[in-house]
Structure 1
Amino acid sequence: MGALDLSIFSLASFLIFLVPVFYINRHLGLEINKTMITSIVRMCIQLSFVGVYLEFLFKFNSPVLNTVYLLIMIAIACQSILKSSNLKLRKFFIPVFFALLFPFTIMLFFFNAAVVRIDNLFEAKYMIPIGGMLLGNCLRSIIIVLNNFYSGIRRDEKVYLYSLSLLCSRIQALKPYFRQSFLAAVTPTMATMATIGLVSLPGMMTGQILGGSIPIVAIKYQIAIMFSIFYTGYFCVILSVLFSLKVGFNALDVLNQDIFVSKV
């Protein structure tokens, strides 16, 4: 037995709650009503297109199409990460792309091959949803680590340069900034893992139960996906910093100031 279908009217019924939301925003002087409407419309349109396209992907189940779709997802994720990190896209796109690609690919195929044990590792109904969950959960961690790392060095550049003047290597001088930004990036995921099942019932588990799976099977899938999310995010965070050092610093180990997006 699958999940019950939802009518358009059922989904539209949620719009009634916008009335008090808009009233409160207006009363508090929060000029975000237009932004909210734009976000809601974009969400509905984007998810509708994705639904149609996924039907196409699942029907043809082509390894080439599935792979191309995931690469496009990674590219879009990179753009979102760099935009949120205030770092220039043309300088950091390639380092961040490969920092995402390597751990993401390894964990995705490990999940399909060793955990779920499907014959076709490019099976669309596994490859696309699992890949989307891995990427979506990596975004925040990479944004945090890149933003904290480079903004921290920019803010304390004199301290960093002083460390270099004491004959420290670049790695030694950067270690305190990396440690701080790394902890900030991975702590939210660890906190989620520590409270999962007690504070919230996560998406994978909920989807499995609504789809008709018994709770114990849903729990097994959720544990597997949480392992995958944690490992993917962990290694993506490390590689995103390591791969970006070449463009982030010049030959003299000084921070390149032209990597930041200027705020008007």
Structure 2
Amino acid sequence: MAQDIFLPNLLYFGFFLIPIFFIMNYLEIHQISKVMKSLSRMFIQLMLVGGYLHYILVLNNPFINIAYLIFMSSAATITVVRDVKIHNIKFFLTTALAIITPLILNLTLFSVLLLKLEDKFNAMYLIPLSGMILGNTVNGMIITINDFLKSMRVNEESYLLSLSFGATKFEALKPFVSSAVSLAFKPSVANMGNVGLVSLPGMMTGQILGGSLPIVAIKYQIAIMTALFVSRFLSSFLLMIFCSIQFFNGYSLFTQNKKHI
């Protein structure tokens, strides 16, 4: 078990923020209030999460665990939709499907093939793994869809020209999809290439602090980093495929929501 941290002692980190805020003010980086709000939200949200996660882990009820998983997936979907600013029920459902599909795939891999858990919905594994996968997935999807929309805005004529030369809708969209998906998984590739040499990742560090043997922590870290890459890639790719099917029709660009492009 890792040694507990007394709550008032967390305030020591606040002293490090003071010189940073002075530097931000000197450089005229007008983000101090945003940073303060984000830090406050982080503190409140994590304290609340720590409170109810304790009871979720103690109860370990499969129905409660699944309900919380649905809640997390819904929050992830809302985050992507809110950031992209495409207010369309089809886009919401498309995003949700692109998020849930690789999540279920990876959770099944972990519980059935990798860990061979008797309780496939054990909260100790289900909740932390889902949280890491969903957080990583959301970041990748936001990068993907924003880059895709930006490219389509700038290169609409190129897209239409490809169609006029006889390319199918998917052939014309392929360069934009490829660029967007590639941009999304580049951070994962960089992290995998530097792990162990430059950084010790969160899951591995947490397990070591919790008393696990380093070799056990390393095996978990290898598994989760592979899962994060798979989820980030698949979710971004699926989102592009679903959007291509639903929102592009003939020569019309993003037909269901053109005003947002």
Preserved contact between residue 88 and residue 261 of structure 1 (Cα < 8 Å): no
Preserved contact between residue 107 and residue 232 of structure 1 (Cα < 8 Å): yes
Equivalent in the alignment of 1:22: 21
Preserved contact between residue 88 and residue 260 of structure 1 (Cα < 8 Å): no
Equivalent in the alignment of 1:113: 112
Distance (whole Å) between structure 2 residues aligned to residue 88 and residue 253 of structure 1: 22
Distance (whole Å) between structure 1 residues aligned to residue 7 and residue 259 of structure 2: 42
Equivalent in the alignment of 2:152: 153
Change (3 A) 1:41 1:123: same
| Shift of residue 69, structure 1, vs aligned partner | 1.0
> Are 1:256 and 2:226 matched, yes or no?
no
What pairs up with 1:204-243 in 2 under 5 angstroms? 204-243=203-242
Distance (whole Å) between structure 2 residues aligned to residue 34 and residue 192 of structure 1: 30
Equivalent in the alignment of 1:102: 101
Q: Secondary structure at the match of 1:198?
A: coil
Letter in 1 for 2:254: N
Change (3 A) 1:26 1:48: same
| Shift of residue 233, structure 1, vs aligned partner | 1.5
Structure 2 regions of 5+ residues with no counterpart? none
Comparing 98-107 with 17-26, greater Cα deviation is found at 17-26
Distance (whole Å) between structure 2 residues aligned to residue 62 and residue 112 of structure 1: 16
Distance (whole Å) between structure 1 residues aligned to residue 30 and residue 259 of structure 2: 25
* Deviations, residues 96-138 of structure 1 (Å, cap 9, x unaligned): 1011111111111211221122110100010000000111111
Distance (whole Å) between structure 1 residues aligned to residue 63 and residue 251 of structure 2: 41
Preserved contact between residue 86 and residue 260 of structure 2 (Cα < 8 Å): no
State the TM-score, normalizing by the size of structure 2: 0.94
Q: Secondary structure at the match of 2:39?
A: helix
Change (3 A) 1:260 1:38: farther
Q: Secondary structure at the match of 1:118?
A: coil
Structure 1 regions of 5+ residues with no counterpart? none
Equivalent in the alignment of 2:137: 138
Equivalent in the alignment of 2:186: 187
Q: Secondary structure at the match of 1:134?
A: helix
Letter in 2 for 1:214: L
What pairs up with 1:43-62 in 2 under 5 angstroms? 43-62=42-61
Change (3 A) 1:194 1:56: same
| Shift of residue 9, structure 1, vs aligned partner | 2.1
Letter in 1 for 2:39: I
| Shift of residue 91, structure 1, vs aligned partner | 4.0
Give the superposed CA RMSD. 1.7
Q: Secondary structure at the match of 1:99?
A: helix
Letter in 2 for 1:138: T
Distance (whole Å) between structure 2 residues aligned to residue 179 and residue 19 of structure 1: 43
| Shift of residue 155, structure 1, vs aligned partner | 1.4
Comparing 87-96 with 67-76, greater Cα deviation is found at 87-96
* Deviations, residues 192-230 of structure 1 (Å, cap 9, x unaligned): 111111111001100010000111111011001111111
Q: Secondary structure at the match of 1:120?
A: coil
Change (3 A) 1:114 1:89: same
Distance (whole Å) between structure 1 residues aligned to residue 116 and residue 36 of structure 2: 43
Distance (whole Å) between structure 2 residues aligned to residue 196 and residue 253 of structure 1: 45
Change (3 A) 1:262 1:245: closer
Distance (whole Å) between structure 2 residues aligned to residue 47 and residue 261 of structure 1: 37
Distance (whole Å) between structure 2 residues aligned to residue 211 and residue 88 of structure 1: 43
Letter in 1 for 2:52: Y
Equivalent in the alignment of 1:124: 123
| Shift of residue 240, structure 1, vs aligned partner | 0.9
Distance (whole Å) between structure 1 residues aligned to residue 204 and residue 177 of structure 2: 34
